[in-house]
A and B are shown apart, each in its own frame.
Chain A
Amino acid sequence: MGLDRRRFLKWGLGAAAAAAPKLVAQEAAPKLDRQAEAGEHAGCLVDTTLCIGCRKCEEACNRRNQLPRPAVPFTDTTVFRQERRPNDKAFTVVNEYVGAPSPDQSTAKQTYVKIQCLHCLTPSCVSACIVGAMVKADDGSVVYNPSICIGCRYCMVACPFQIPAYEYDAVLKPRVRKCEFCADYTKGTGADPACAASCPTEALVFGTRASLLALAKDRIGKRPDRYLDHIYGENEVGGTSWLYLTGRPTKEVGLLEVPTYIPAHKTESIQHGIFRYGLIPLSVYGALGGLMWFNLRRAQKGKTSEGQGGETTKGESHE
């Protein structure tokens, strides 16, 4: 019995110990630096110091995506009384954050921040999706294919920016709804997404991510008093296609503090660490199978040596 218990523990712990280093080893994941290749991705720069809170982007988004018209018209600014989030009926919303103007007094007291899907360079939702219904397209947009979606909503759990919304009221064909960067419209035409096209102050600028980063750095360089020296989205969660310039600390204006590593790589490294080449499952299988075989042999030997032949079937021996 003692021997067996020790062996049990040894094997049990051995199996766990074999898995554990792989599980925690982030370094085992392939190094995926998207920053370089993402330079030609479509992106959008949001200069929050220029946004006037007119909600034209919300309206344009609503029209282009054929979303239901809201009860409160888009010209109504009382919506700013509370912080809103994108939902299944509005893929983008503008929020107002009252606070101090920028150090050079060139910006207003209110900061308006448009929020929508940031189209991460390595999106958690794409990594999480069980069937690949969320896809990071080559142009940089993160698009959704409802036809294969099973509705598990893991993308919503995974999103670090709390963006995907769900049509909970739809009975048969609920969809995950979020900004898709107007991918249907911009595809191959070079047209701007609806929000950027409608922005009156050009607080939203559409372009390649590389050019937008250059533009953002140019603006920060020229107006260091107006802008914080931080492009939100340059490194957040490994980089996003949407970039934000702010005159106030980002966490004061509703932009979440997120890590600069890629969250998806945490799970992917665990998954691929275990399952790549099937080595770990196979070795565990081999070890357990060997042990089983060994124990069966031992039991049969013990039986034959003891001479108890009452029960012949191998599985029904009792001690």
Chain B
Amino acid sequence: MSDIRPQAMRKRFFTPGTMVLIVIAAIGLAFGLARLLNGIGAVTNLDDFYPWGIWIAVDVACGVALAAGGFTTAALVEIFGRHQFKSLLRPAILTAWLGYFMVAIGLMFDLGRYWNIWRPLFNWQGNSVLFEVGMCVMAYLMVLTIEMSPSLLEGMREAMAKENFIGRALRRLEKPVLFVYKWVKIVLPVFIVAGVVLSCMHQSSLGTLMVIAPTKVSPLWYTPLLPVLFLLSAMMVGLPMVIFESIIAGKSFGHEPDRALIGSLAKFVPWTIGVYAAFKFGDLIVRWKQLNFTERPDATIAWVVEIIGGIILPFILFSTKAVRRSKGWLLVSSLLVVFGMMLNRINVYLVGYYPPFSLKRYFPAIGEIALTAGLACVLMLLYRFFANYFPIVSAESHPGAAPAEVPHRILRPEHETVRPVLAWVFRGSAVAFLLGFVVLYSLVHAQAIQVSSKATSGIPVVNIAKKPTIDTSTLKHAQRPEAYRNLYVLNSSALNERIDYYEPVRFTHRTHDVNTDGNCAICHHRFAMGPDDRIGEDVKTLHASIEVRITGAACTSCHEDLNEKKYQKCSQCHSGPNESDFPARIGLKGAYHRQCIGCHQVQPATANAPTDCASCHHPLVPDHKPLLNVQANLELPAVTGRCLACHEQTGADIMKTAHWTWQGRTPEILGKEHSATVGLRNTLDNYDISLMPNPGLTDLFHVGDITQSADWKDPTKIDCLVCHDTTSTYRREPGKPAVDWKAVAEKAGRPSRVNCGSCHFYGGGGAGIKSGDLSPALVNPGPDLDYHMGKVDMRCQDCHLTKKHQIAGLSFNAPVVEGRAGCELCHGEQPHGITGVISRHLDNHVKTVACETCHIPYFAKQYPTQLSVDFSTAGQDRTGIPQLFGKPAYDKRYGEQTWGQNVVPVYRWFDGSRQNYQIGDKINPRTTVVLNEPLGDKHNSRARIYPFKVHRAVQPYDSEQNILAAVKFEDALWKDYDWDKAIGEGMKAMGASYSGKHGFAKTEMYTPVHHEVAPAKQSLGCADCHAPQSVSCARCHTNAAGMNQPEHTRKVYPASAGRFDFKALGYEGDPAVTGGRFYMYLKRGLPPR
């Protein structure tokens, strides 16, 4: 026995076993490298729910616990004086030392910012358990190094004795090595005790870590006693770990471990297990009612395995004498304890960790497992290395391994004694050094308590009560177009104070009156009693005080002058939310939204109250200058290319629209309901006859730059800017100055009336020529010219709702349908609710008479419109041409023309369907050919009376085939006025044949009148259409005698007598007298005469 002493094993390092370990370690470290190069997410299965995986649960928590053999053996041997186990101390310390190094290295892979690992040394956070763990582990690693140093220095001493390269090199360090060795031996006891204390501290703190998550850790494991349990289980696992490794090391190095020694060591194990089990079971019994074994079966299984396999079974085994005497059983039993402890750590950190909202459970990725296994292998390799070359493992010395005679004094350093007083001074200074740490650490905690009870200072306090008042008068919304600011829109500085990305909402009282039955109090619920009153009186209460009950009846029936009075603005009371004078009052934004959304959600679908955001709010178009990001000037295809680069789908969308294809589905055209090929490409009209043969016209009116047939399929030929120019400088007309494409593209925005008008206001070749109600006057109209555009500043797309560039509306000569636009979309089907006593009569009209009929008494209010043209007279050089409304009565290119201004429309029944002339359709040249006749009559309940502009023309036709002729004007007719040649080229361009003979036929063309809606007060009155004597209340309402309203019998437009030709519409006479469709609806028979 006496020659058993720690000695270097000096075995072959590279064995098949170590090669396997090296391979596994290399694979693991390769994954570690991958983590460093690609980030944690690339290698692990960690997510926001499971921030900690096995790198923490196994590498750190288990690793630290498995290294507990170091401090338990040290405590047993050095503190409790069981010196018989001394031979086991050095291997245990080595295991601990290497284990903690591996913990530190493993942690480097898990930390997101591993290069900041030194931070806790300077950024103290005493409240943090992890801070305690980190500091403790660092300190203990230092202590372990000191505890290891005798072995290391002795190994170096032996190496110095050798006459080889290493020995020679080390001999240069002889003096410092000896010096350190001497003093370490003296102060070692101080650090041995410190090591035990530090171990107790952080072994327990690893348990405290999870105490902060009471809602996440399963109650099977969660207890405030976790630190105690972790400490006790670490103590429990320490000795079995030593037994395990001495057996394994013995096997590895080929010597028999001292079986009696480990057998007697094993006697302590039932006691350590017992103490742990006592606390564990005591805690479970106390918390028994919290435990739920059925909720999570996987956790329950893990729990049962841990209790039985990791505590009860090894306790029984270690208590058995036979087991303690058998090497195999000792190995198994020790492994069970180790396994039980590891399972406990994994359970607490992973299996029992149930983060809320997590959809999938964590399972380690291959990379995580590989790195963990790799680090374990590195540890074993290092163990073998140190045991091989340093005096760690105690074994019977054999002559070959014993160091030979070395002529240096280095072999006997321990004989150099130190005076006892000096030794105690050194020990004392080591204690003082440790004490300094303790004091510092308690100071950190004292500071942390301060921090915990009071927030960190140094960040300025936001005193919300003293919010700076914002001068709303100077506040401007940077992203909001200047032009919209003063319009009739919900746009208040109180709104703009807060960020949003929408244009202001265009709110109209009128349409909302209708849908609220004229009950203003729904929104205007309080009335401010003065300019400074920001709380006001309840409107219902105010009315109750004068014994008026607010019902659905129109407020205007009493408050006739509401229009003249300034409404009380919502913003008078509502501005910002949570204002200190009256916190319960909501801010302006909330007031609008809650009021709007509340009604819109309960409105029936017929009210067309939209509930999606974009129907009221148009998103602001961002500044395209940085998006476009071009330096040089651009030409058309390049600009479009830039647009389509971001708006990827838009090119394809555009090429499906009628604006691009000039043909499409026309379900409302009689006989061509299922055709998808009717459109500008093959219809004829009265004004330009046909667009297709004339490149100048197609170039002007197409949304693309179409010069050849291939262009129809080329998305880069789309001209985005003709619609999206906001500078009003963009023109595609020939002969105009060149466009600064870049400047226009940088300011691309939502189309305005200018953009739509750039084509639609110029139909027929000039301002207002074709559609009298669509003219440049609508760019900036007064309210009398068009109420919607002049007063409310509505844009075209407010009615012509647009989706994917398909624009709703009905055109009579470009007859493709992409959705319906109409007054009732906003105004509903009973729009006259606020008109007073006759509102029901007016609403009954809606079923028969289109809104436009009464509300557009005249059209072409500013720009004269063409009423007729006679192409047969074209080509003459006339002089002294008379002017009509400033327009010539004859144009050589077109022939004789007539003009009208303030034109009274023609009224026709119209049920939505119509005829439309397509090239090739046969005509009867002796009669007037109607190109697009609106269909419907009074017997058709869908039909209503609409106003139309009727245009008459005399235009060429193929007198052999009896079809209308297409004409090429440019470079053909206008060159030499040779009709046959012009028609021939025109028909060829349209894909039709021409016989060579032409005549002239009379044609008529209808254009519906929808725009230039007059204000309500300027709409037609009863007597404008009906006989004054028929507009008498007492005719039907026998009780209403004497209540006739004089204004009902007065003509609003006395000049236009005979506006309505009732006979032409199919009535016997004035339907107010003879009976019309009202009476059919009312089922009253004929009206009283």
| A interface residues, Cβ below 8 angstroms from B | 4-5, 7-9, 11-13, 15-16, 19-20, 23-24, 26, 30, 32, 40, 42, 45, 50, 52, 54, 56, 59-60, 75, 83, 85, 87-88, 108, 122, 124, 126-133, 135-139, 143, 148-154, 156-158, 160, 162, 164-171, 173-174, 183, 186-190, 192, 194, 197-203, 205-208, 211-212, 214-215, 218-219, 222, 254, 256-259, 263-264, 266-268, 270-272, 274-278, 281-282, 284-285, 288-289, 291-292, 295-296, 298-299, 310, 313, 315-319
Contact = CB atoms under 8 A, between A and B. Distances in A.
Nearest to A121: B455
Contacts of A9: 271, 275
Contacts of A40: 461, 463-465
A288 B130 contact: no
B51 A271 contact: no
B182 to A, nearest CB: 13
Contacts of B464: 40, 42, 190, 206-208, 211
Interface in B438-482: 438-439, 441-442, 445-446, 448-449, 451-453, 455-457, 459-468
Contact of B583 (A26, A152, A194, A214): A214
B186 to A, nearest CB: 11
Contacts of A130: 119-120, 125, 128, 130-131, 134
Contact of A85 (B120, B215, B225, B357): B357
B645 to A, nearest CB: 16
Nearest to B83: A317
Residue among A24, A203, A268, A313 with the most chain B CB within 10 A?
Answer: A268
A190 B464 CA distance: 6
Contact of B197 (A174, A267, A281): A281
Contact of B113 (A56, A150, A276): A150
A319 B87 CA distance: 12
Q: Looking at B41, B84, B462, which has the most chain A CB atoms within 10 Å of its CB? A: B462
Interface string B834-859: 00000000000000000000000000
Nearest to B584: A218
B583 A15 contact: no
Interface stretch (B228-236, B560-568, B926-934, B980-988): B228-236
A224 B889 CA distance: 77
Contacts of B81: 4, 292, 295-296, 298-299
B402 interface: no
Given A128-B129, A174-B113, A202-B589, A168 B39 contact: yes
> Which of A157, A198, A281: most chain B Cβ within 10 A?
A157
Nearest to B612: A75
B193 A288 contact: yes
11 contacts: A8-B76, A131-B116, A160-B213, A160-B215, A166-B46, A167-B112, A183-B459, A212-B578, A215-B583, A266-B214, A267-B208
A278 B440 CA distance: 9
Contacts of A11: 80
B353 to A, nearest CB: 8
Interface stretch (B542-550, B593-601, B650-658, B941-949): B593-601
Contacts of B434: 285
Contacts of B52: 153, 157
B225 A20 contact: yes
B315 to A, nearest CB: 16
A110 to B, nearest CB: 11
Interface string B406-420: 000000001000000
Given A124-B212, A295-B79, A168 B40 contact: yes
B1000 to A, nearest CB: 56
A22 to B, nearest CB: 10
Nearest to B444: A275
A211 B593 contact: no
Interface in B564-622: 577-578, 580, 583-584, 586-587, 589-590, 593-594, 597, 601, 613-614
A92 to B, nearest CB: 14
B194 to A, nearest CB: 7
Contacts, number: 373
Contact of B192 (A8, A83, A292): A292
B442 A276 contact: yes
Top 4 nearest A-B pairs (CB, nearest first) are A151-B112, A202-B590, A295-B81, A168-B41
Contacts of A267: 127, 129, 208-209, 211-212
A32 B39 contact: no
Contacts of B441: 275, 278
A233 to B, nearest CB: 15
Nearest to A286: B193
A292 B128 contact: no
A197 B498 contact: yes
Most buried by A among B1, B52, B464, B466: B464
A218 B583 contact: yes
Given A16-B228, A85-B357, A272 B449 contact: yes
B83 A319 contact: yes
Contacts of B134: 130
B86 A316 contact: yes
B438 A278 contact: yes
Contacts of B82: 4
Contacts of B601: 108
B111 A151 contact: yes
Nearest to A165: B48
A215 B457 contact: no
A143 B110 CA distance: 23
